[in-house]
Amino acid sequence: YLIQSRGPRDPDVAYVVQLRHHGYVTSVDSLMTLISKTIDSHILPVPPVYPIPGEMKRQEATGMGRQITQLIPGVMASSVYPRLSHGERLVLVRKMALAFQACWQIQLPEPRLIGELTAAEVGGQFILGIGPDRHYCLGGPFSFVREYLGAHIRSSLVALEAQQGIEEYKDRFLEHIRNFVDTCMHKIPATVEDVPVVAMPADMGLHNIIVSSQAQTEIQAVIDWEFAASAPYASLHRIIESLFRKPAANGFGPEYDGAEELREAFWGTIPDWKQWNQSESTQVFLEWFRFGLFMKPEWRPKGLPEDEEQGVWRENIRVVESVLHKYSLPPEASNL
């Protein structure tokens, strides 16, 4: 709901009232307030929030929370990013890199568990906590990255089993994937435990970034903090990759012209994280994490031209075959 102020104070200010079915509104308000007080708003701007007294008890009783934030004028970055020039994209990805880094530098409680990140304001102090993952229903909180990866992969298998309209893919892969998930999760290498666990919004994609309608490389606000997480930074792989690729149903569209320069601009802006991104620990983590990401393909329409038809599932098949062949299947099974 959009509310426009009519009073003499701030007559041009508008507010947004959102109904939150999943996120704990008081926690979301506290986290956004913490960010606004501790992180440079030029790097990670968030809308001002206006907590409603007693909202925690009300949400517990009704199952639905209400959040009031200031309306930030502008346009969604996802609607303009594909039309930006390469030079403009370079400017924006550098700013996105700094925004991600600002999140990753938030001090988490020790030990760094993996799960949903919650916040509470107690006596003027902000207390962060880690609970079970509710956004993806993974459970937890997890003490080890390997546990998290196993839960991520098992959740993807459940989604694959439920997906309709991909029988050809299921006939080819489902039994092999089931056997792999049942017998090979212990093969996740220990090096993944070195991947940093950091604070992050669950979805800081371009569709949750408001940019100026005049200067479309100027970030005005990062919105939709309904879920936040304490998780390995590399679990944001798909969201970060979306800065270098055209929109697609599976989140892995064709690369923009100059995609490698965009990647270098992003990681080069945050050199410490660039080193992590090039590390063996991160590359091994991504191998297993992407197996979960691409295990379930999107529905493929019938009647597509042959080249286009093959392209819909190409990355799914490549990722799945790579992991199965490397970690479980004997050489004679190479005709998958």
Q: 68-93, pLDDT tens digit by residue?
A: 999 999 999 999 999 999 999 999 99
- pLDDT of 41 reads 97
- pLDDT of 206 reads 97
pLDDT at 311 over 80: yes
**Mean pLDDT over each residue of the chain, to the nearest integer:** 93
Q: 9-21, pLDDT tens digit by residue?
A: 666 789 999 999 8
Q: At what angle do helices 167-183 and 314-327 cross, to 10 degrees?
A: 30
- pLDDT of 218 reads 98
- pLDDT of 305 reads 86
Q: 36-45, pLDDT tens digit by residue?
A: 999 999 999 9
Q: 43-64, pLDDT tens digit by residue?
A: 999 999 999 999 999 999 999 9
Range 126-135 average pLDDT: 96
- pLDDT of 21 reads 85
63 burial (CB, 10 Å; 0-12 / 13-18 / 19+) is: exposed
Q: How far apart are CA 19 and CA 17, in angstroms?
A: 7
Query: Is the sign of the CA dihedral 262, 265, 268, 273 positive or negative?
Result: negative
Cα–Cα separations (whole angstroms), residue 56 to 16, 59, 62, 229: 19, 5, 10, 20
Which pTM value belongs to this model?
0.93
- pLDDT of 306 reads 80
- pLDDT of 2 reads 67
User: To which residue do tokens 């329409």 refer?
Assistant: 301
- pLDDT of 334 reads 45
What is the percentage of the chain residues whose pLDDT exceeds 90? 85
| pLDDT range class, residue 332, cuts 50, 70, 90 | very low
- pLDDT of 331 reads 44
| pLDDT range class, residue 248, cuts 50, 70, 90 | confident
